[in-house]
Amino acid sequence: MKTIHVSVVTPDGPVYEADVEMVSTRAQSGELGILPGHIPLVAPLEIGAVRLKKGGSTELVAVSGGFLEVRPDKVTILAQAAEQAEEIDVHRAEEAKRRAEQRLQGRQDDIDFKRAELALKRAINRIEVSQRKF
């Protein structure tokens, strides 16, 4: 079976590196499925899960936005933050979710509201990825 090399990188360093059979993720333009030999592409990513099919199983990486660069033999994901499902601190994510929900309820201005909304999306994404709800 053909594979494509995937690198997920953050400002803090690499988070994931492997050869996989398929990459699925949500770009701002919609859902993307990438197989070996895919045409070159650059796309901004949404907060969500990157699903990596490898040897009959699917590995998940939570990303909080960033960019996806596709070449026929390689996929590079440059994310502001990324965590593999098994490395997510669920307690910390649930605390972040609770704090974001409190900020949304007591909103003062639009800037705080947008930041709290993004924090909530990131926390929910991390919780769902850790529970493999994708």
Q: What is the CATH number of the domain that holds 56?
A: 2.60.15.10
Q: How many domains does the chain have?
A: 2
Of 99 and 133, the structure prediction assigns the larger pLDDT to: 99
Q: Which amino acid is at 77?
A: I
Domain with 32 in it: 4-85
26 and 39 both lie in a single domain: yes
Of residues 48, 42, 84, 50, the one with CA closest to residue 67? 42
Q: Tell me the pLDDT tens digit for each residue of 39-59.
A: 999 999 999 999 999 988 999
Please classify residue 104 by burial: count the beta carbons closer than 10 Å to its beta carbon, then call 0-12 exposed, 13-18 middle and 19+ buried: middle
Q: What is the mean pLDDT of the chain?
A: 90
CA dihedral of 112, 113, 118, 122, whole degrees rounded to 10: 90
Q: What is the CB neighbour count within 10 angstroms for residue 40?
A: 8
69 and 99 both lie in a single domain: no
Whole-structure pTM value: 0.84
Q: What is the CATH number of the domain that holds 118?
A: 1.20.5.440
